[in-house]
A and B are shown apart, each in its own frame.
Chain A
Amino acid sequence: MASIGRMWRQLKTKYSIYHVFVFLLTFFSYAFFHATRKTFSNIKTTISSEWTPQFCNATEPCLRPEKIWMGHHLFDSSSDAEPFLGWLDSTFLISYAVGLYISGILGDRFDMRKVLSLGMCLSAVVVFVFGCLTEWVHLYSQPFYIILFVLNGLLQSTAWPCVVAIMGNWFGKSTRGLVLGAWSACASVGNIIGALLVSQVLDYGYEYAFLVTSAVLFAGGIINFFGLVPSPKDVGLPEPEDGDDDDDSVSSGDEDETGVTARTPLVQSDTDSPVTFTQTRPQAISFFQAVCLPGVIPYSLSYACLKLVNYSFFFWLPFYLHSQYGWKETVADEISIYYDVGGIIGGMIGGYLSDRMKKRAPTVVTMLLLALPSLWGYSASPNNKTINAVLMAVAGFFIGGPANLISSAISADLGRQDLIKGNSEALSTVTGIVDGTGSVGASIGQILVPLLHKQLHLDWHWVFYFFMLMTLMTVVCILPMLVREVRSMKCFLNYQLRRQAAALVQDTHRTDRQHSLNS
C-alpha cells in the first residue's frame, strides 16, 4: 500500500498536468492526421465507382438512364482507375518524405505549436477540397487530384517532427522509451478512428466521410493553437534531463520523504538548475549539422529499411492472404490490427527495457534479430485465422516495436544528445531526417514489391526473404551504434575491468614466478 502511495507521489512530482495534456493533445493530433489518410484508403472502392460508368459489355446491357449509370467518365472502368489510385498513394508518400525534411527544419525555427496547428488546418482544407468540394461541384479531374495529394503530403508531414519534438521536450530520456512507446499507439488509434468515422457516414456519400474527418482535423488544429504548450520552458518549468549522468541522480530511488526531488516543478529559486522565463530559444541547428550528429545517419538508414518492411508488409498483405488462403481483403484489414497491437506492446516493452538499461541499441538489435524467425514463422502459417493473427502479433512485436522506438524515442534522444544540449534546437530537424529517410525507404518498397512479384514472377516466399534481408540490413546499419553503446554499458565496463584485473593478477603471478626462479 505504501509503495503505491510512494509511486503515485513520484508520478505527481515527475509529471504535472501539463504533461498529461501535452500527451493527449499530441496523441490525438497525430491520430486525426492518420484518420484522414485512412479515410482515403477505405473509400477507394466507392470513389472508383463514382469515377466510372457502370460496367457493360455484350452480355450485360448498358444501364439506363444514362445520367444515373453512365454519366461519369473520368475512367472507363474500375480496373483503369486502380493504377491511378496507386499513383495517388505513391505521390503522397514521396511528397510526405520530402515534406518531412522541410517540416523538421521548420519546427526548430518557428513555434512548433503554430507549425502544427497550421499544418492541421491547411491539411484539413486540402482534404476537404479533394474529397468533398470536388464531389459537390462535380469536378473530377486527374491532374487536380494529384496536385491536391502532393499538397496534402507536404502538409501532413508537419505532424510527426512537431509531435515527437514536443513529447521529447517534456519527457526526459529516463522515461522516454516507455512513454513514447505507449504514445506511438496514436497512429493505430488514428486508423481505428478513421475506419469508424468512415463506416458511419459512408452511406450518405463518400464526400461526407472526407467532410467529417477533415472537419475533426481542423477542429484539432484550433484546439492545439489555444491549448498546446510545446516546451516546459514556455511555462517556466525546467527542461527534462537528457544526459546519462543526470539520470542516475533523479532515478526513482533518490527522493526524500516528502517526495521532493531536484526536479520538483513550480519551485524555482531553491534548485540549482537554471530556469529561464524567457522565450528565446537556442538557435536552430542547420540541416547539414543535424545530419552529421552522431547516430543520425545510422538510425535514418536503418529506419529506411525497417519502414520499407513495415509499409510493404501492409500493402502486400491483402494480396498474399487472398492468393495463399483465399481470404477476402477485409480479413487483411482485421489481421493488420493485430500487427499494430503487437507493435505497440513491443514498443512499450522495448522502450521500458531500454529506459532501464539507459541504452537503446541493444534492445532494438535484439528485437530485430528475433524478427527474422518471426517473419519466417509467419510465412509458414497454417490456414487458420487465429494462428495467423497470433503470428502476426508476434511479427508486429518484433518489427513494429523497434520501428516505433526508432521513429520516436530514439529520434528524440538523438535530437537532445549531450553534444548539442542547450546550444541548439535540433529535435524536430532530427526527427524529420529520420522519418523522412524512412518514408523514402517506404516509397521504394511500394515500387519494388509489386515489381518483385509481378515482373519477376517470384513466389510469395521470395517476398518474405526480401523482407528478412531488409530486416538484417536494418541491424547492420545500427551495428556501429550497438558497438559504441555496449562499450559504454556498465556491465560491459565491469566485465572489462574484471578482465583487466585478472590479466594484472596473471602478470604479477608470472613476475613472481620469474623472481622465484631467478633467486
Chain B
Amino acid sequence: MANPGRSFATLLLFFVSCQWCLLLTGGQEDNALSLCQLSSCRSPLVDDGVVYTMCQDRHGLQVWGRCCVNVTDTTHNVTIGLDLSGCNINDEFFKESPLLTLTHLQTLVLDNNPITVLSSEDVAGLTELNYISVPTHSNCSCPGGEEAWSQHIRTVNTTVCVEQTSTCTIYDGSCPATSSHCVEDGPGLFLCLCNEGYYGYKCLRQGTFPMSAFLAGLGSSTVVAAVVLWVLQRRHVKTA
C-alpha cells in the first residue's frame, strides 16, 4: 500500500530537482538569449548600426536577434555586441543588472530609450566594453562619468563614449599598499584584491597559524609540568 505513495513522492522529487537543475545551469544562457530576443524590441538589428557592422567585419561572428555573438567556441556563445536601441528600455530594466552576465561585451548601444540614469554598477565587470552609446537625456551620461572614457562624442540624441580609461591609474593608491592590488572592473570601477599570501577581511591576515603544532606543544608541556610538579610538591600534601 505504501509503495505507490513512495514512488509518487520520488517522481515528484525528481521532477522538482530536474527543473531546479535546469533553472540553475540554463539560467545564464537563457538570460543572454533573452536579452538578444527582448520582446519589447519591435524591429530586428538595423543594418547600418555599429553592432551589425562589427558582426560583418570579422570571422566567427554571427548576428542573433539584437546581439552579435562569437560562435567559434562551440560550448559557449559569447555575446560581444548588443544593440537595444528603440526597445523601450527604462530604468527598471537595470534593476536586476541583466548586463553583468555579458562579461565579454565590447559594444553596447542603448539609443532611443527612456533611460534617465546609467550607473557604473549596471555595467560592472565589463572590462572589454569599449564603445557605448546612450541617449542624451537630461541626466543620462556614460556610466562611470567623464573620467571613465577617453573620448566623448555628444550629439543631440546620443552620447557615444569610446575607450575605457584605466581606473586603477586614476585612483592609484586607493588600495592599501602592502596587502592588496588594483584590478580593473569596468568603466569607473576597480577592485582591490588581496595580494599573494594575504586573505580574509580587508586582507589583514597572512599565513596559516600552526594550530596542531601549537596545541601539541602546549598540551605536552602542560602535562609534563603538571606531573613533575605534582611529584615534587603536592605528593606530600595531607588531606583532611
Contacts and interface: CB of A to CB of B under 8 A. Distances in A.
A141 B76 CA distance: 46
Contacts of B236: 235-236
Contacts of B206: 203-204
Chain B contact residues: over half helix, strand or loop, or mixed?
mixed
A157 to B, nearest CB: 24
B14 interface: no
A208 B209 contact: yes
Contact of A235 (B202, B207, B237): B237
B190, B227, B236 — which one has the most chain A CB atoms within 10 A of its CB?
B236
B175 interface: yes
Nearest to B210: A204
A17 interface: yes
A404 interface: no
B192 A205 contact: no
A61 B226 CA distance: 56
A175 B204 CA distance: 50
Interface string A178-208: 0000000000000000000000010111001
A contact patch SS: helix
A422 interface: no
Sort chain B's interface into a size bin: 35 or more
A236 B234 CA distance: 12
A49 interface: yes
B234 A227 contact: yes
Interface string B215-240: 10011011001111110111011111
Interface string A56-78: 00001101110011011000000
A205 B209 contact: yes
A366 to B, nearest CB: 39
A223 B238 contact: no
A473 to B, nearest CB: 43
Interface string B167-180: 00001001100000
Contacts of A481: none
User: Quick one: which of B191, B207, B209, B239 has the most chain A CB within 10 A?
Assistant: B209
Nearest to B205: A205
Interface in B75-121: none
A61 B170 CA distance: 11
Given A63-B192, A225-B226, 19 more contacts: A18-B233, A21-B229, A21-B233, A49-B202, A54-B202, A61-B171, A68-B194, A68-B202, A205-B200, A211-B209, A212-B214, A215-B218, A219-B218, A219-B222, A227-B232, A229-B233, A234-B238, A235-B233, A279-B240
